[in-house]
Amino acid sequence: MSDQIIGLHRWFDSPPGRYLLAWEQARLDEAVADIFGYHSIQLGMPMLDGLRTNRMPHQWLALGQEGFAAGHAPGAPHRMAGAGRGSAGVNAGDGRADPGDASQPQRRTIDLLAESVALPFAENSLDLLVLPHTLELSIDPHATLREVERVLVPEGRVVITGLNPASLWGLRQRRARLYQRLGKGNLYLPDVGEFIGYRRLRDWLRLLSFEVESAQFGCYRPAVRSTQWLDRFGFMDPWGERWWPIFGAAYFVVAVKRVHGMRLLEPAWRTQRQRSAGTVPVANRAHAAGAPTAPAAQAPVRPPHASFKQRDKDRNTV
């Protein structure tokens, strides 16, 4: 695994590697600028400064096996790959990677050495994690994502970058592997095992209660090795963003940790039946409501009987 990590870092110092790093650096600067909190960490890939535009007060760079393989020590600055020698940059107008621009950060201090499958942080303690190609270099990508879910606070965010196997670069890599079985040919991308596709990664995130907030694809130029040919195919970046957006050589994912709310249920013996209220007459109910009451109906007056009239007449005549 250490040889694969070193091979990947050396590949990122090549023209296509610097072209990819420039695109990823531009996406990272845009994504983390408006993410707020207190604690953030970048796991692996010291050639990228994924937290340089973030404003959290506590930021760390942690290296795993690549730190042990290269002999880095915590507190030592690390030189960015391709810095100061015509590394791939980004066009200011459209944000696309452009080989030939040396606008990479020079140094980044390494804060700690830690494996991504066993992070030395408590549960719900980090607000932001940046994983630039960390899953591809991890000995267990599932365990890495479980650790990310454990240390992130609710509504915390994780930023993931990776190589897309469904692209021109991935197609050339598969063809090179086939040629190697026949005893000829060289790999275009570093030999780091199986690349994780976007749909597969999205399913893993959903299983861990993550919600994909945004996803982008980039680097649509063909799999060529020289800066000159990368420049010639620069027109394919805007074409790819419009006509075949999901077939970029790399993907960029921002996911949010969602925690569903809970409702505490009391024991059944605590619940008591509520006594039903007494019935209220209709008249009293209307009077209590302030409604005007109708006048009471009077009983009809019966006319005097005929026998009583005759008796009164006889008395008067005596």
Please state the domain extents for the chain: 2-257
**Long-range contacts made by residues 245-248, C-beta under 8 angstroms, separation at least 24?**
245/217, 246/166, 246/198, 246/217, 247/164, 247/166, 247/167, 247/168, 247/217, 247/220, 248/164, 248/167, 248/217, 248/218, 248/219, 248/220
- Is residue 219 within 8 Å of residue 20, measured between CB atoms? yes
CATH class of the domain at 2-257: alpha beta
pLDDT at residue number 86: 44
**CA–CA dist 267, 95 (Å, integer):** 59
pLDDT at 178: 85
Please give the mean pLDDT across all residues of the chain. Answer: 79
What's the pLDDT tens digit per position in 159-168?
999 999 999 9
pLDDT given for residue 298 in this prediction: 64
| Strand residues in the chain grouped as ranges (E) | 39-43, 58-63, 77-79, 89-90, 97-98, 107-109, 112-113, 126-132, 152-163, 210-218, 250-257
The stretches in the chain having pLDDT less than 70 are: 1-7, 65-108, 193, 262-318
**pLDDT score at 269:** 64
